[in-house]
Amino acid sequence: MSIVASRLSRIKPSATNALTGKVGELKAAGRNIIGLGAGEPDFDTPDYIKDAAIEAIRAGDTKYTPVPGSVALRKAICCKFKRENNLNFTMDQVTVGCGGKQVIFNAFMASLEEGDEVIIPAPYWVSYPDMVALAEGTPVFVEGREDNGFKITGEQLEAVITPKTKWIMLNSPSNPTGAAYSGDELKELTDVLMRHPNVWLLTDDIYEHVVYDDFKFFTPCQIEPGLRHRTLILNGHSKVFSMTGWRVGYGAGPADLIKAMNNVQSQSTTHTCSISQAAATAALNGPMDFLPSWINTFKGRRDLVVSMLNQVNGLTCLTPDGAFYVYPSCEGIIGKKVPGGKIIENDTDFVTNLLEAEGVAVVQGAAFGLEPHFRISYATSDELLKDACERIHRFCDSLS
Ligand SMILES: Cc1ncc(COP(=O)(O)O)c(C=O)c1O
């Protein structure tokens, strides 16, 4: 009999984490690989945040903290919501986990009964469906069509809500498409949710600050305060402060849900590292003066990649409003042959052959629930991005 529990048969390892591992192996074997798979900014964590961590170590801030996070960090989070989103939260309505990922996991573990449905707009962040399945819920997908900028409409949402719907996930700006919902587009969705009082909203705002041009970010509760009592807002430090390795994410929502999530966490990780919490507190309380230049750099990269990809025969790429991903379609490539005769049947074949032929690592759309596409994370230097796009161009031109 297998040592592995049957519940594991419901999930698969994260495709993006797997790709990062593969890229590391190929590089170690001496191949010249450009990895565009990892969803993390390439900037260093700002110095004032690192300094706070060093001070915390020296001050002996190295012991257990409360399960939901230190008082100082939760206060800083409440201030962030007031300052940036004009939302009032109290300390018991806030929880901190080992990254946003753990906060979402805690929420599902704390709230889902077997068979509860969770609506997940596709394309989606790879982990949502698996986390739902691990918590015995049932993911229900609704397609954000490319001709609607990869966003879902109110009508589509209305059509998939059933008496079993427990949650809807929203992620704006989105991983993997960079699509972001305007205030009006959110209103269309929140109006639907107002007609379904038993459905909860989990809004993943982790890319809140990574938006371009004149795009204005809103979290849904700013648009519809009537949803406050059944909304969990997910946010975190990984993307905005370039702190992926520090593992800090947080959630804000109704106190009874937060309490249940804290119970889950108290029996798993207890809390994220006390030193990371000190750094995360300084991050939120400090100046965000590094951000405009980061966003400007990301925007330049986005424009570079979109324009280079749109010059490739067989690819088309939308210009997203946020995050640091593009999600080009490779529909025009499907059915073509690689030199040697193998046919590219789908986007997984496309990314596998691209990696083999040109050493560019991107993630297949199949992992995010909308094919035939692939995701590029452009959080890397202009030089590497140019090189990667030239390699993609060469690869596509080599097909017949
Ligand atoms: C949409 C989205 N949500 C949540 C996360 C979780 O990030 P972390 O666990 O590093 O906070 C990520 C990370 O890639 C993400 O892209």
DSSP for 82-102?
HHHH-----GGGEEEESHHHH
- Measured from the CB, is residue 251 less than 6 Å from ligand 1? no
* pLDDT of 222: 97
* pLDDT of 195: 98
Q: State which ligand 1 atom lies nearest to the alpha carbon of 174.
A: 1
CA angle 150, 153, 155 (to 5 degrees): 145
Q: State which ligand 1 atom lies nearest to the alpha carbon of 103.
A: 9
Prediction pTM value = 0.96
Distance CA 137, CA 86 (A): 33
* pLDDT of 244: 97
Alpha helices in the chain (DSSP H): 15-28, 47-58, 71-85, 99-111, 127-134, 154-160, 183-194, 220-223, 255-266, 274-285, 291-309, 347-358, 382-397
Mutate to test the pocket of ligand 1, among 14, 169, 175 (most ligand atoms within 8 A of CB): 175
Q: State which ligand 1 atom lies nearest to the alpha carbon of 16.
A: 14
* pLDDT of 11: 86
Short-list 74, 78, 40, 89, CA closest to 271: 74
For 107, residues 6+ apart whose C-beta sits below 8 A from its C-beta are: 202, 232, 234, 251, 257, 261
Cis peptide bond N-terminal to 372, omega within 30: yes
Residue with CA at minimum distance from ligand 1 atom 7: 100
* pLDDT of 38: 85
- Measured from the CB, is residue 249 less than 6 Å from ligand 1? yes
CA of 202 relative to ligand 1 center, distance in Å: 13
- Measured from the CB, is residue 125 less than 6 Å from ligand 1? yes
Q: Look up tokens 């800090």; give the residue.
A: 248
* pLDDT of 23: 82
* pLDDT of 271: 97
What the block records as the tokens of 344 is 């590219």
- Measured from the CB, is residue 301 less than 6 Å from ligand 1? no
Mutate to test the pocket of ligand 1, among 125, 243, 265 (most ligand atoms within 8 A of CB): 125
* pLDDT of 300: 98
* pLDDT of 158: 98
- Measured from the CB, is residue 171 less than 6 Å from ligand 1? yes
- Measured from the CB, is residue 101 less than 6 Å from ligand 1? yes
Q: Burial of 203 by CB count in 10 Å (0-12 exposed, 13-18 middle, 19+ buried)?
A: buried
Q: Burial of 18 by CB count in 10 Å (0-12 exposed, 13-18 middle, 19+ buried)?
A: middle
DSSP for 238-267, written as a single string = TTTTT-GGG--EEEE--HHHHHHHHHHHHT
CA of 371 relative to ligand 1 center, distance in Å: 22
Distance CA 79, CA 103 (A): 19
* pLDDT of 273: 98
For 146, residues 6+ apart whose C-beta sits below 8 A from its C-beta are: 318, 329, 370
Contact of 160 with 140, CB cutoff 8 Å: yes
- Measured from the CB, is residue 204 less than 6 Å from ligand 1? yes
CA of 100 relative to ligand 1 center, distance in Å: 6
Q: Which residues of the chain have pLDDT under 70?
A: none
- Measured from the CB, is residue 238 less than 6 Å from ligand 1? yes
* pLDDT of 35: 92
